[in-house]
Amino acid sequence: MPERLERLLAAFDRARPRVLSLDVFDTLLFRPFARPSDLFWEVHRTLREAGHGPLTVPPGELAWLRVNAESNARAQAPGYEVRLPEIAEELARMLGGAPAAEALHEAELAAERAHIELDGDIAALVRHAAAKGVPYVLTSDMYLSAADIQSLLDAALARANVQLPMPAHVFVSSEHRTGKAGRLFPLVLAQMSVGAHEVFHVGDNAHSDVESPKRQGLHTFHYEHVPRELEAMLAAEDARLSLETRHTGDLALRTLRAKIVGAHRVARTDDEAGELSCFDYGVTVFGPILAAFADWVVEDCVRHGVRVVHCLMREGHLLAPLIERAARAASDDLVVKKLWTSRYALRAASFHQADDRELLDYFEKREHPPLATVARDLGVPLEDLATVLHASLDAPSTHQESLDPAEQRALVAAIVQSPTLRAAVVRASAGRRDRLFAYFAKEGVFAHDLLTVVDLGWGGTIQRTMAHAFRDHDRPRHVRGLYLATHDKLLELPHGRCSAASFLFHLGEPRRDWLIVQRTPEILEQVCMPPEGSFRGIDGEGQVENFPQPIPAHQLADIAELQRGILAFADGWLPNLSARRGPRYTWKDAERMKERLRAILIRSIEDPSPPEVRLFDRWVHDANDGSNDTHPLLGDAALRRDARFMTHEQIRALSWLECYWPQGLAVVANRPASSTPRLLASLLRRDAGWAAASFVSRSLAKVAAKMDKP
């Protein structure tokens, strides 16, 4: 049970009320929009589809006029409390009488009914109260009538397929011309024949739902809508959206993120206020992105008649349960399997001739391997390779140092020219291939002509290597990859044996956003990791063999909490996703959703807050591909020290070899984008060049560090 629901039920039981009073919007019911006024954009579509078009104003202008119509109507209404028909009359006047007020009124109610949703935790509170014989009432500061609100509750219950007892009464400020800060609660007490201390009220507004009723003697519970530490994050995401996307439906992304974080929020001390947990971050950042990706995978499989997908490990550790949830939500019987594989294991099993091409492909790595690693990977004795390079095994550093490109080429040439060494490489690879293929057969890889694999993506390297490894098999004839994001290296897939589709970025487009993700994909990769290390191959007993896990225990615990948050978001969002889309959902709506998801991801990389960066302050990224090396996301201690004397721009210009996440390092170094020391600004203005400015900055940093001066 979520922590907030536990606290809510406990507070209700302590109060022992005779009546439960509930706020309506953002408490019992919620709209799947980023802000309430976004509903008015949907009113435009409702009017048009009802035959009240073509309208003379676009959706955005209609929404703006609707907001102003309400303001004008309130200024003329008793007690500033207005009714929807009065707003509709004012809006019709502003539109010149077309559409008529009645049509505007009905269109808004229809749009509300088409989107309104039920809050599951408040529904649980209603059932809890009913079990104790306590009725509930709805108490709302709202321009809708009691009958309107009752119709919205009916629609939300039908959408959620939930049954609840009906409210004993609905108290609405528009009908009584007074709100919760005025005489509305005394009306509740009089109508229900109870004292103030016998009512337990729940709502999201700190003033009207907590302070005001508490002053009047009611028991209250603050059902916070958006925790304050998320407000800046959500605002920064909005700033990256086009105007139209910003104000159209977001399928409850914003609302549910806030609600799920709030639902699982434990009590905090003053020192902890404003901090984010890994669970929070999983819900708000990666939950929407990966849950939407899982839904897209299921949709693609349904469209292509695919009944089995294999989620490539290690990322499949998280992707598989997400896709299973998406399949259940879509009432689809898709079989989702985890498949251990890796570039390392596939490459090691793919030396058929040990020729120049195969061996040079092996050395295409981010980091140059040492001689001992090459011997292990090729399956040949270390002393044989050492002899080829005239290296001595007596000095461990000789075979532990990375081979430079010239040494790599010399080693490849020597192996290719030696029948003995070539045969040893091919023989070792064949043994690995036999064991690996036996495992693949057990997992159903060879059962169908089409093999569908799922991964985060990038360049389709594993898919390409699989297709190469399967070339002597009748099945699968074709390997199809479904990816979150890809770049243009995907075009190098052997298209006779492979095809691919990608969700959020395809072939590196949209380009500007993709370059940001491509520069720093490490956090997203690490978030999907399992407790096990990378896949080494299948051992002689036919069991999966992994390299030792180099990720520290504290980071694995963080990852587990992030994944718990991601799955919590998926559990809250996926079940009602089809209803949220509705029959009017178009490809334009789908593209706007992708724009929102890209904004979430890009904002997390480009514009992190200090609490966010603190979550990853001690994280490392494993080198993988047969290496147990790890590197800190935010750079080593020397770089962090130097970064205090660098500009924001210089930090951002660091290569990935120096820092995986320069934007995070800039936050740690307290270097905002506008920070430019005078000396370096002068150098840059005089065209001294970026390299010279960076050199001077790093040199000054080292001198200052030695002098122990700020």
> What is the pLDDT averaged over residues 228-233?
82
Q: What band does 328 get if pLDDT is binned at 50, 70 and 90? A: very high
User: In this structure, are residues 142 and 149 in contact, taking their beta carbons and an 8 Å threshold?
Assistant: yes
Torsions phi, psi for 641 (to 5 deg): -65, -45
Q: What band does 395 get if pLDDT is binned at 50, 70 and 90? A: low
In this structure, what is the dihedral angle of CA atoms 242, 245, 248, 252, given to the nearest 10 degrees? Answer: -130
pLDDT tens figures, 671-706? 877 544 433 333 333 333 434 444 444 444 444 433
CATH architecture, domain defined by 3-31+116-225:
3-Layer(aba) Sandwich (3.40)
What pLDDT is attached to residue 696? Answer: 42
> What is the pLDDT averaged over residues 622-631?
77
Q: What band does 492 get if pLDDT is binned at 50, 70 and 90? A: confident
Q: What six digits make up the tokens of 150?
A: 């009752």
> What is the pLDDT averaged over residues 386-408?
70
Q: What angle do CA 528, 530, 534 make, to 5 degrees?
A: 100
Q: Does residue 15 surpass a pLDDT of 80?
A: yes
Share of the chain above pLDDT 70, in %: 91
In a 10 Å sphere around its CB, with 0-12 CB exposed, 13-18 middle and 19+ buried, how is residue 540 labelled?
exposed
Q: What band does 171 get if pLDDT is binned at 50, 70 and 90? A: very high
Q: Does residue 708 surpass a pLDDT of 50?
A: no
> What is the pLDDT averaged over residues 67-92?
92
Model confidence, pTM: 0.85
Torsions phi, psi for 498 (to 5 deg): -135, 155
**Structural domain spans, the chain:** 3-31+116-225, 36-114, 364-435, 634-707
pLDDT tens figures, 553-611? 999 999 999 999 999 999 999 998 988 888 888 889 899 999 999 999 999 999 999 99
Closest listed residue to residue 365, CA positions, set 627, 690, 174, 567: 627
Side-chain half-sphere CA neighbours of 589 within 13 A: 14
> What is the pLDDT averaged over residues 325-329?
96
How far is Cα of residue 381 from the mean position of the Cα atoms in its chain? 46
What pLDDT is attached to residue 279? Answer: 95
Q: Does residue 644 surpass a pLDDT of 70?
A: yes
What pLDDT is attached to residue 524? Answer: 95
| Residue whose token pair is 């001077």 | 696
Q: What band does 229 get if pLDDT is binned at 50, 70 and 90? A: confident
> What is the pLDDT averaged over residues 313-336?
96
Give the mean pLDDT of the chain: 87
What pLDDT is attached to residue 706? Answer: 38
